């Protein structure tokens, strides 16, 4: 049984990655329903929390149905991160997570996210202060390094473990790679198999099928896998991986009706959490993903993204279920 501190999270847990503008409560709800073991919020600005900025504070919203959950924070100032960690803890998550992996320029080039990988002493000091500031387990998500010349991920893991983190997720790319190229899991395995590392190590990057999840589990020996982009529009991936690991057999892919049903659930959660106007608007980014691979779907997509009336959107979704019931989805 894998544990983060005293929190049991399964024999081989599947974690939903924190993704900006994606991993909100409605999206987390459908992923949880479909087999995700541990949730993480979108990353939250430490400065935003301290200033009580509405967007940052709203990201603290968590619900009992999605537990266990970690609130992820980012920032470049140690004092601000310490204060933000205490604010995050007050929202009552199971885990406080630190983002040392975001590659986006406006974050990393200011010394936050992956930028802190250029200053390991500061990273260690910041983490130590956060661990001391909260009573819940602290975890970290990071990358291999800033670029190929600065990969010191074993040292990073040791430093973070030494100051008290309870688990480490490693995305197998450098900051310079952004999300391009192939994730290098050899470095992740090097950390996992190092004799001085005893905290759980989770791998992240390029897991987009049950077969790949099984291969990477066996080849690299990680304690669990974090899944990000592959879950967008396809929350079924968590249960598909679990079934394949348990039986060696693949589940049937979701039908049109399955896709319509999950879209309705996501939309319902979105309307409840954000209100009709914002809930409708922010669902628009998800329609293409849920119905990817359906031939001749474009006219329906246009109607979905142009419609402002929630009731009419549900009617369109019913039309889709009827119209495409016999369609073959192109994977």
Assess contact for 72 and 102: CB atoms under 8 A: no
Answer whether the bond into residue 68 is a cis peptide, omega within 30°.
Answer: yes
Assess contact for 203 and 220: CB atoms under 8 A: yes
Catalytic-residue membership of 102: yes
> Which residue matches tokens 């990477």?
216
- Return d(Cα 210, Cα 225) in angstroms, integer: 11
The 8 Å CB, 24+ separation contacts for 101-106 are 101/141, 101/142, 101/143, 101/171, 102/43, 102/74, 103/143, 103/173, 103/175, 103/176, 103/177, 103/178, 103/179
In the set 31, 102, 109, 307, the catalytic residue is 102
Give residues with Cβ within 8 angstroms of 306, minimum separation 6: none
CA atoms within 13 Å, Cβ hemisphere of 22 = 20
- How far from the centroid of its chain's Cα atoms is residue 182's Cα? 18
- Return d(Cα 245, Cα 67) in angstroms, integer: 23
Query: 204-221: buried (b, 16+ CB within 10 Å) or exposed (e) per residue?
Result: bbbbebbeebeebbeebe
Q: Is the dihedral of CA 209, 34, 267, 52 positive or negative?
A: negative
Active-site amino acid positions = 102
């Amino acid at each position: 049984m894998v544990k983060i501190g005293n929190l049991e999270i399964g024999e081989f847990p599947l974690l939903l990655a924190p993704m900006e503008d994606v991993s909100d409560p409605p999206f987390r709800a459908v992923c949880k329903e479909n087999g995700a073991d541990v949730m993480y919020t979108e990353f939250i600005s430490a400065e935003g929390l301290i200033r009580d900025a509405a967007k940052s504070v709203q990201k603290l919203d968590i619900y009992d149905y999605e537990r266990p959950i970690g609130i992820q924070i980012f920032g470049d100032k140690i004092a601000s991160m310490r204060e933000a960690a205490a604010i995050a803890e007050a929202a009552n998550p199971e885990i406080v997570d630190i983002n040392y992996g975001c590659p986006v320029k406006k974050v990393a080039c200011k010394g936050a996210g992956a930028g802190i990988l250029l200053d390991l002493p500061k990273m260690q000091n910041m983490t130590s202060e956060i661990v001391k500031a909260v009573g819940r387990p602290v975890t970290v998500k990071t990358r291999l390094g800033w670029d190929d010349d600065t990969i010191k991920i074993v040292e990073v893991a040791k430093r973070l473990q030494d100051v008290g983190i309870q688990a480490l997720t490693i995305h197998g790319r450098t900051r310079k790679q952004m999300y391009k190229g192939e994730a290098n899991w050899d470095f992740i395995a090097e950390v996992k198999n190092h004799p001085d590392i005893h905290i759980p190590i989770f791998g992240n990057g390029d897991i987009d099928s049950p077969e790949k999840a099984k291969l990477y589990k066996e080849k690299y020996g990680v304690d669990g896998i974090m899944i990000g982009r592959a879950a967008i529009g396809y929350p079924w991936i968590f249960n598909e991986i679990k079934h394949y690991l348990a039986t060696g057999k693949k589940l049937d892919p979701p039908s049109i009706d399955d896709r319509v049903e999950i879209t309705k659930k996501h939309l319902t959660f979105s309307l409840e959490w954000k209100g009709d106007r914002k809930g409708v608007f922010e669902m628009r980014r998800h329609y293409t993903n849920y119905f990817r691979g359906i031939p001749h779907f474009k006219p329906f997509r246009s109607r979905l993204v142009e419609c402002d009336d929630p009731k009419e959107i549900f009617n369109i979704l019913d039309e889709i279920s009827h119209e495409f019931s016999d369609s073959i989805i192109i994977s």
